[in-house]
Each structure stands twice: as structure tokens, then as C-alpha cells.
């Protein structure tokens, strides 16, 4: 069910979107290839990438409604899927929430890696595949409303964001106090 797109509304770029995707943002680092950012050897040799990584650390962003929807599914013991569409029970309804239809054309070499035909949105024999074309958050909120879970999801988002804001505030204040202490010590040294 999930991919990088569920994090974009939090300000975290997906990988491939032209102009805003992670791989486009990494061009200024002259990587040998976009995925080098994920290779420890390359990272250790190019510590300037630490600044880029620090901006994407947990705590810098709040989870999105889509993240909380997946948590709600987990709490209700409903199994989401990603890249395993052909392993779902044949009676299981499969819903794709995405900006474009994907996972439905496994011809050629990719069919070797899949155990079935993929999602069959436009196939006349389709009895279980549904595509919601739009943003992930909008699709998850619409689905939660259809399932009668809208209030539960909105409450989860509200309480968790409040909890995270409180935790981040404590961390920010502690970091600020530590920075202030360092500045005071440096000022005292320069005065002596």
C-alpha cells in the first residue's frame, strides 16, 4: 500500500519527481549515481552529505494522515501491502491510492518476478482491484470516512501530533539551552 508518496505532504521528497524528488535534490552533490546516498562507503567518504541527512532525520517532520491510516490498519489487524499485490488472497479487494495507476502491466521481464498479472483495473474480468487516483492523504482520509473510521483517524492524528510537538519542544529547548551554554562559555573565555 505504501511508497515514498505517503511522506510528501510532510515535506519529505519522494525519490523520482522531477524538480522536487530526492534524486533531483541530490544532483548538487555530484553523486556517481542517485542511490549512492544510501551506500555507507560513499557516505563516509563524503561527510558533507551529513547536512542533507540531518534535515531528513526523524523529529524534523510529523507523520502524515497516510502514516496514521496505516497505523490504524495495524491496530485493526488489517494487512496493507506493498509490492506483494499477487500474494493477497484471491478474494481480497486490492485498493491502490496513488496519483497514477501502477502495478498493472507486468509484461516482459518484470513478469518473471511476479507471481500473477498484477492489478487488473481496466480488465473486464476484474472483480477486486480499485484505483483511487489522487494524493495519498486525501485517499486515506476518504477511505477512513467510507469505513466509518474518520473520527478515530482524526483523533489519532490530533493526539499524536500534540504528543510529538511536546516532545520536539522539549528537545528544541534542551538543544537551545545547550547552545546558549556554549555561547556563554565562549563569551566568558573571550572576556578573560
Q: What is the CATH number of the domain that holds 46?
A: 3.30.1600.10
Q: Read off the DSSP letter of residue 6.
A: G
The secondary structure element, H or E, covering residue 165 is helix 150-191
Q: Read off the DSSP letter of residue 99.
A: S
- The model carries a pTM of 0.67
Range of the domain at 15: 11-61
Packing angle, helices 136-146 and 150-191, rounded to 10? 140
Both 47 and 103 in one domain: the answer is no
How deeply is 160 buried, as exposed, middle or buried, from its count of CB atoms within 10 A (0-12, 13-18, 19+)?
Answer: middle
The reported pLDDT for the residue numbered 50 is 62
Both 192 and 177 in one domain: the answer is yes
pLDDT digits (tens, 9 = 90+) for 102-138: 877 555 544 555 566 788 888 899 999 999 999 999 9
Both 169 and 124 in one domain: the answer is yes
The reported pLDDT for the residue numbered 86 is 76
Beta pairing class for 129-133 and 94-98: parallel
Both 72 and 147 in one domain: the answer is yes
Question: In total, how many domains does the chain have?
Answer: 2
pLDDT digits (tens, 9 = 90+) for 152-188: 999 999 999 999 888 888 766 555 445 445 544 554 5
Phi-psi region of 177 (alpha: psi -120 to 50; beta: other; left: phi over 0): alpha
Both 89 and 145 in one domain: the answer is yes
Rg of the chain over Cα atoms, rounded to whole angstroms, equals 22
What distance in Å separates the CA atoms of residue 153 and residue 147, rounded to the nearest whole number?
11
Inform me whether the pLDDT recorded for 57 exceeds 60. Answer: no
Both 115 and 181 in one domain: the answer is yes
Both 49 and 99 in one domain: the answer is no
Both 127 and 35 in one domain: the answer is no
Both 22 and 57 in one domain: the answer is yes
Residue 95 three-state SS: strand
Domain presence at residue 2? no
The reported pLDDT for the residue numbered 115 is 61
Both 56 and 81 in one domain: the answer is no
Both 123 and 191 in one domain: the answer is yes
Domain presence at residue 3? no
**90: confidence class by pLDDT, cuts 50, 70, 90:** confident
Amino acid at each position: 500500500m505504501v511508497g515514498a508518496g505517503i511522506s510528501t505532504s510532510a515535506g519529505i521528497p519522494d525519490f523520482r519527481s522531477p524538480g522536487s524528488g530526492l534524486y533531483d535534490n541530490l544532483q548538487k552533490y555530484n553523486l556517481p549515481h542517485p542511490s549512492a546516498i544510501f551506500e555507507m562507503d560513499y557516505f563516509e567518504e563524503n561527510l558533507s552529505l551529513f547536512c542533507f541527512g540531518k534535515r531528513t532525520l526523524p523529529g524534523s517532520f510529523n507523520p502524515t494522515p497516510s502514516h496514521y491510516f496505516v497505523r490504524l490498519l495495524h491496530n485493526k489487524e488489517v494487512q496493507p501491502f506493498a509490492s506483494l499485490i499477487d500474494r493477497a488472497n484471491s478474494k481480497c479487494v486490492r485498493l491502490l491510492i496513488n496519483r497514477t495507476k501502477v502495478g498493472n502491466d507486468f509484461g516482459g521481464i518484470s513478469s518473471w518476478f511476479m507471481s500473477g498479472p498484477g492489478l487488473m483495473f481496466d480488465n473486464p474480468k476484474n472483480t477486486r482491484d480499485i484505483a483511487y487516483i489522487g494524493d495519498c492523504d486525501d485517499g486515506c482520509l476518504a477511505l477512513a470516512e467510507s469505513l466509518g473510521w474518520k473520527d478515530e483517524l482524526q483523533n489519532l492524528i490530533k493526539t499524536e501530533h500534540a504528543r510529538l510537538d511536546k516532545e520536539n519542544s522539549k528537545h528544541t529547548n534542551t538543544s537551545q539551552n545547550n547552545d546558549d551554554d556554549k555561547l556563554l562559555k565562549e563569551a566568558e573565555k573571550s572576556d578573560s
